[in-house]
Structure 1
Amino acid sequence: MWSVVGLCLLALLVTYTTQWIIKWRNPNCKGVLPPGSMGLPLIGETLNLIIPSYSLDLHPFIKKRLQKYGLIFRTSLAGRPVIISADREINNYLLQQEGKLLEVWYMDTFSKIFGQDGDSRVTAAGTVHKYLRHIFLEHFGAEILKEKLLTQIEAFINKTLGSWSSQESVEVKHAASVMTLNFGAEHMIGYNAENSSGNLSKKYASVIEGLMSFPINFPGTAYYNCLKEHKKIITMLKDMVKERRASPETRRGDFLDHLIIDMEKEEFVTEDFAVQLVFGGLFANYEAISPVLALAFSLLLKHPLVLQELTAEHEAILNNREHPDSPLTWDEYKSMTFTLQVVNETLRLANVAPGLLRRALTDIPVKGLTIPAGWTIMLVTSAFHMSPVTFKDPLEFNPWRWKDLESHVISKNLMPFGGGTRQCAGSEYSRAFLATFLHVLVTKCRWSLINEGFITRNPMLGFGNGIHIKLFDKKI
C-alpha cells in the first residue's frame, strides 16, 4: 500500500512540476508575446548573459537573439521576465511614455542600492524628476562648466596626471575611476581624498563588483560586501548631512548644501532622499567616465594617426593663446572639433550602459505584439551604435566618420547617455571631462604601454588584466 501511495505522490509531483515548467515557458499574456525563450526555471537565461565576451561588439547574448528572433524578443533574467528591444521605433515611443505606460526600473542587485527598496522617489517621474534634472544641471550643466567647472576639471586632471607620472605603473581604468570619483565628491560634498580617513573609491569599487554578481547575501560573497560598503557610504553621508544641518557655518555652497537648503522648501527633499541622490551622483562619477577613458588609451595606442591629429589640434589651441599656460576656456573646448569626434567614437564603441531598464505599468501594444504589465523592458540603445547601416565597419575606430554625419542622424543613433525625458543631465559634463582629459594628456604627457589587457563584456565593458601604462612628463 505504501508503495502505491509513494507512486501517487511521485506522479502528482511530476504532474505539478511539468505544469509549472510549461507555465514558466509560456507566460500569460492578453495579446501576442514577442518571440523568445524563458530559459531554465527561476534562473532563466541569466548564465548566458553573464558569460563574458571579448569584443567591443554587442554581447553575444543580445546579438544572437536579435538575429534569431528579430528586433524585439522575450527572455528571463535573474528570475524576472524581460522584453529586450533594439527596435528604434518602439524604443523612441517607449522613451516618451515614462510615468504613463512605464517607469524606471532596476534589476534586483541594483534595487537595494538605488532606491526601490529605499527612497523610490529618486527614480520617480514628474515634479521630482524635474527637480533632479534641475539640481544636477545647476551643479554639472553647461552654465557652471562655462563659469568655473571646466577650469577646476583641468586643474584636477593636471594634478592627477602629475601623480600618475610619479608611479612606475598605472592601471588606467581603476586610476581613472578614483580620479573622477574624487573630483565629483569634492564638488558635491567637499570630500578631500588626501585628508579623509575613509577610502571612498575603495568602497565604491566593492559596490560595483557586487552589482555585477548574483544577489546572494551571504558573508564572503561579492554582493554581501557590496551591501556592507553601501551601508558605510550611506552612514557617512547621513552623518555629513546631520553635521551641516546642525552647524550652518560648515556649509560650502556645494551640491549637498543645495539639498539641505531645499529640505526647508520642498516636502519631498528628505534626508534619505538627499543621501540617496548624492550616493547616485557619486556612483555616476565613479563608473560612467572611467571605462571610456581606459578604452581611449587603448584605442589611441593602436591608431597613431588619430593620436597625431588629436595632438595637433590641442597644440594649435596652445599656440593660439596669448599665454600658453592660461586655463582652458569654454570657447576652446567648443572648438575641439576632432577631439569631440574622438569622444563620440569612443563613447559609441564603449557602450558602458548597454541598455536602459524600464518596467511596464500596464499592457503595452507595440507593432502587433504586447509587453505585459509588470515585465521589465530593456531598450538596447547599444544596438544603434553597432549598426552597419549607420556606421560602416562599426567595430572600426574611425573618429573621422563623425565629420560627415548630420546632427539629426547623430541624435538618433548615438545614445550613450540615454534618451527621452531621462537623458542624463551630466552628458555635457562627461563630454567636457573626457575632452579636457585628452587636452591635458596630449599636451603635457607621453606614455608607454606596459600591459594591454583585453576587452571583456558581461555585458558591461571591462578590461581583463587591466590596461597598465607608464606615464611621463612631456618636458622630460
Structure 2
Amino acid sequence: MWSVWLSVISLLIVISTHWVYRWRNPKCNGKLPPGSMGIPLIGETLDFLVSNNSLDIPPFIKKRMMKFGPIFRTSLAGRPMVVSSDPEFNYYVFQQEGKLVEQWYMDSFDKLIGQDVMTRVSSHRNIHKYLRNSILSHVGPEALKNKLLPHLEDAISQKLQGWSKLPSLEVRKSLAIMIFKLTAKLLMSYDAEKSGDNIDDFFSNFMEGFMKLPINIPGTAYHKCLQNRQKVVNLMTKIYEERKRNPEIGKGDFLDQILMDMKTETFLTDKFIIYVMFGILLASFETMSSTLTLAIKLLSDKPKMVKELTEEHEAILKSREDANSGLTWKEYKSMTFTHNVVNESLRLASVLPGILRKTIQDIEVNGYTIPKGWCLMVVPSAIQLNPNIYEDPLSFDPWRWQGISANVTAKNFIPFGAGMRTCAGADFSKVFMGVFLHVLVTKYRWTIIKGGEVMRTPALGFGDGIHIQVLTKHA
C-alpha cells in the first residue's frame, strides 16, 4: 500500500515539476527576451499592481528595465507578455497593425465592455475603421472647428460658475462628471440634469476595477464594477430602444448615425451598439479628467506658469473686437503656452499603465523572438519619462516643448496611442483641456484645500483626492 502511495506522490511531483518548468520556460522558435514568468497562473501580477506614491515609472517596470533592458518578458493576469519601453521597436510595431499585431484588452476590460464587442472591434479592421470615422465625424477636428467649440466653452463656463459657489470640491470626480455629461449629450443627446439618473456615479471608479484581477466576488472592486456596468447598460438600453422606436425624434448625433447605418452595416446589432456606446463614454473622460486634475495640482505649485497662462489668455480677450464674443478656432490655435501645458501634463500623466497588443506572428527584435499569441505591452510612462529624451523628466516644465521636434514626439510621446489605432478622441481631449484652462485662468482662481497625493496604482491615481476651492477673480 505504501508503495502505491509513494508511486502516486512521485508521479504528482514529476508532473508538477514539469508543469512549473514549462511555465517558467515557455516554448519559443528562437530566444525569448530576458525576464521572469513569476508564479504559475498568477505570474507577476501582484507585483505589477503595487501602488507607488510618485509620478515616476511604476516600480515593477522600472526595476525590470534596469535588470533586463527595455524589452523583457513576464506574465500578467495569467497571460505571457513582453513589456517594451523601446521607442524604435514600439513605433515599428504600431505601424504593423493587422500584420504582426492586433489590438488586445485585459480579460477584466473585455468582460466589462463586452467580450464579443471588443473581439470584433479588435480583429476586424473594417469595423474599427467605421467606428473611428463615425466618432471623428462628430468630435474630430472639423466638428470641433465648425460646431463644438462654443458648446464646450459654454458647458465649461456654466460648470465652473457652479463650482465657484461651493466651499470645496474633489477635482478628479467633478471633472469626470462634467466630461461624462458633456460627452453623453454630444453622442446621444442624453441630458443627465433632466433625467435625474446618477449614471456618472456608476462610471467614477471603473479604472480602479478593471485594473484589478477579474474576480467576481462581492466586496471586490471588480464585482462593484460589474454591478455598476449593468446599471449603466440597462439605462443605455432604455435610451437606445426609445430612439429606435421613435426615429422621428432624431437629434443628428452619433446614435442617430449608427441607427441609420444599421440598414447597411450587418455588424451593427442592438447589443453591439449599446456596448460600443458604453465603451466610448467610459473612455471619454478617463484621460481628460486625470490629466486635468494633475495639471491643476502641478500649476498650483507654479505661480510663474499660472501667470504666463493668464497673460496668454487675457491677451486673447483684449484683442477681440467684440468683448462678448466667444472663443474662436483661430484663438484656440494661437494658445502656444497652453498647448505646451497640455502636452506636458499628458506626458507626465501617462494615465493608462500600458497599451496592449497581441502578436499574430512571431516577431524578431534585437536577437530575441516574441512568440505568436503572446501579449505585448507598450509602457507610455517609460517612454515619456525617458531622461535621454526629456531632461529632468519628472519636473513639470511646459517650456521644454518649445524645442521638441515632431520627429522626437512621433516615437516618444504617445498619450493617445500611435499608428492606425490612435485614439479618435485625441483632438477633442486636447481642445477640451485648452478651453477649460482658458475659462479657468481668465475668470477664476483656485486654492488646494486638502489632498494632493499623486500615485501610480498602476494607473494614475490621487489617493483620497485633490480638493480645491474655486473663486471668481473679483471675489
- Give the TM-score band, short-chain normalised: over 0.9
Deviations 1:26-58 (A, max 9, x none): 111111100000011111111111110111111
Is 1:152 matched with 2:160? Answer: no
Aligned to 2:414: 415
Deviation at 1:446, TM superposition (A): 0.8
Q: 2: distance between equivalents of 1:384 and 1:226?
A: 30
Aligned to 2:58: 59
The question of whether the paired residues in 2 share the 8 Å contact of 1:364 and 1:371 is answered with yes
Higher deviation after alignment, 266-275 or 367-376: 266-275
Aligned to 1:288: 287
The question of whether the paired residues in 2 share the 8 Å contact of 1:96 and 1:420 is answered with yes
Q: 1: distance between equivalents of 2:224 and 2:52?
A: 26
Q: 2: distance between equivalents of 1:79 and 1:311?
A: 49
Residues 245-324 of structure 1 mapped to structure 2, 5 A cutoff: 245-324=244-323
Deviations 1:397-443 (A, max 9, x none): 11001111122222322110100110111111110000000000000
Is 1:439 matched with 2:438? Answer: yes
Residues 53-452 of structure 1 mapped to structure 2, 5 A cutoff: 53-118=52-117, 120-452=119-451
The question of whether the paired residues in 1 share the 8 Å contact of 2:453 and 2:464 is answered with yes
The question of whether the paired residues in 2 share the 8 Å contact of 1:119 and 1:272 is answered with no
Structure 1, gaps ≥5 residues long:
none
Aligned to 2:454: 455
Q: 1:74 to 1:38 in 2, by over 3 A?
A: same
Letter in 2 for 1:298: K
Deviation at 1:345, TM superposition (A): 0.5
Q: 1: distance between equivalents of 2:40 and 2:198?
A: 41
Q: 2: distance between equivalents of 1:8 and 1:374?
A: 37
The question of whether the paired residues in 1 share the 8 Å contact of 2:91 and 2:411 is answered with no
Q: 2: distance between equivalents of 1:298 and 1:206?
A: 20
The question of whether the paired residues in 2 share the 8 Å contact of 1:115 and 1:121 is answered with no
Aligned to 1:39: 38
Q: 1: distance between equivalents of 2:413 and 2:391?
A: 14
Q: 1: distance between equivalents of 2:325 and 2:117?
A: 46
Q: TM-score, normalised by structure 2?
A: 0.97
Q: 2: distance between equivalents of 1:356 and 1:247?
A: 40
Q: 2: distance between equivalents of 1:206 and 1:341?
A: 29
Deviation at 1:61, TM superposition (A): 0.6
Letter in 1 for 2:70: L
Q: 1:119 to 1:111 in 2, by over 3 A?
A: closer
The question of whether the paired residues in 2 share the 8 Å contact of 1:122 and 1:273 is answered with no
Higher deviation after alignment, 10-19 or 339-348: 10-19
The question of whether the paired residues in 1 share the 8 Å contact of 2:288 and 2:429 is answered with yes
Deviation at 1:336, TM superposition (A): 0.1
The question of whether the paired residues in 1 share the 8 Å contact of 2:108 and 2:213 is answered with yes
The question of whether the paired residues in 1 share the 8 Å contact of 2:176 and 2:285 is answered with yes
Q: 2: distance between equivalents of 1:198 and 1:4?
A: 68
Deviations 1:326-377 (A, max 9, x none): 1111000000000000001010000012321011112222222111111111
- 3-state SS of the aligned residue for 1:357? strand
Letter in 1 for 2:430: R
Deviation at 1:5, TM superposition (A): 2.5
Letter in 2 for 1:15: V
- 3-state SS of the aligned residue for 1:471? strand
Q: 1: distance between equivalents of 2:224 and 2:307?
A: 44
Higher deviation after alignment, 360-369 or 143-152: 360-369
Deviations 1:270-310 (A, max 9, x none): 22222222111101122120000110111001111111100
Deviations 1:198-221 (A, max 9, x none): 211111124333212221112232
Higher deviation after alignment, 412-421 or 233-242: 233-242
**Backbone CA RMSD of aligned residues:** 1.4
The question of whether the paired residues in 1 share the 8 Å contact of 2:117 and 2:276 is answered with no
Deviations 1:64-106 (A, max 9, x none): 1111101110000111111101112221121112112221101
Q: 2: distance between equivalents of 1:448 and 1:387?
A: 32
Q: 2: distance between equivalents of 1:89 and 1:343?
A: 25
Letter in 2 for 1:186: K
Letter in 1 for 2:385: M
- 3-state SS of the aligned residue for 1:34? coil
The question of whether the paired residues in 2 share the 8 Å contact of 1:115 and 1:122 is answered with no
Letter in 2 for 1:78: A
Q: 1: distance between equivalents of 2:442 and 2:318?
A: 11
Higher deviation after alignment, 432-441 or 320-329: 320-329
Q: 2: distance between equivalents of 1:249 and 1:196?
A: 20
Letter in 1 for 2:67: K
Q: 2: distance between equivalents of 1:385 and 1:167?
A: 36
Q: TM-score, normalised by structure 1?
A: 0.97
Q: 1: distance between equivalents of 2:53 and 2:463?
A: 9
Q: 2: distance between equivalents of 1:380 and 1:288?
A: 15
Deviation at 1:118, TM superposition (A): 4.0
Letter in 2 for 1:210: G
The question of whether the paired residues in 2 share the 8 Å contact of 1:36 and 1:75 is answered with yes
The question of whether the paired residues in 2 share the 8 Å contact of 1:105 and 1:358 is answered with yes
Q: 1: distance between equivalents of 2:363 and 2:284?
A: 34
Deviation at 1:257, TM superposition (A): 0.7
Q: 1:130 to 1:241 in 2, by over 3 A?
A: same
